[in-house]
Amino acid sequence: MVRLPEIFFWMSEDERWRYKFVFQALILLVPVVGLVALLGWMTIICDSLRAGRQDVAPSGFHLRRGVKPFAVGIVYWIGLGVPLSGLRYADELWAGRLPLNAVATIYNDLALVSYVILIVPLFVATDRGGFLGGLNVVHVVLSIVRRPIRTVVAALVVLLSIVIGIVGFALIVTAPFTITYAASVVATIAAWWSLPRPAAQAEPPERPVTATGAPVPFRPPGVEPEA
């Protein structure tokens, strides 16, 4: 499994990582289909890392794997956007007599932060439980509560990945490649986030004691005690 300090450069261990990134980035140029394929590519990377393999997923149209996280992401995006639209509409209806515009601005910022925090837990929940697993809000929230530190780290990595993806737009041509690289980083942090928590170290079994309270000495099986 990739360790946390290696999430940004472990891909170079795969001899064909350059070709895989380039071809997947070119597929990303196809509207909608490219994004769904990229999400499917991410799920394969995440599953591979969880299984202990450090190989970049083959490039391709992984639509069957990507359609579920794509649909779940749209549902949550709409769900977080409905209250914002309601606040905007109410502000116009009341002609600005209430400070609803300021409330809408604050809500918009909080919704964006929430979406960033939810990306990794939702991705993992959808990968494991399918579309309904991603929509199980209670399970998603509980998984975040059980991993507070990991969730914060994952959110910071997602933010950094978003910045990396946006940087590519400065040169326009490089945007598909930076987005593809950022997607691989998000898939890696999702695999790290989903690791089981270290179990508490088991306590050694208590040794039996005699009637006087002294520990019974070790005796190999089949050996009778001396009279």
What local confidence, expressed as pLDDT, does residue 35 receive? 95
pLDDT (tens digit per residue) in 20-33: 999 999 999 999 99
pLDDT (tens digit per residue) in 191-202: 999 988 765 334
Predicted structure pTM score: 0.80
Least confident of 9-18, 19-28, 70-79: 9-18
What local confidence, expressed as pLDDT, does residue 203 receive? 45
Over residues 142-169, mean pLDDT: 92
Between residues 86 and 227, the one the model is more confident about = 86
Parse the chain into domains and list their residue ranges.
Answer: 14-193
pLDDT bracket for residue 206 (50, 70, 90) = low
What local confidence, expressed as pLDDT, does residue 195 receive? 86
What local confidence, expressed as pLDDT, does residue 207 receive? 52
Q: How far apart are CA 107 and CA 111, in angstroms?
A: 6
Q: How far apart are CA 132 and CA 71, in angstroms?
A: 11
- Residue 226: CA count within 13 A, CB half-sphere: 1
Do 85 and 93 form a contact (C-beta atoms < 8 A)? no
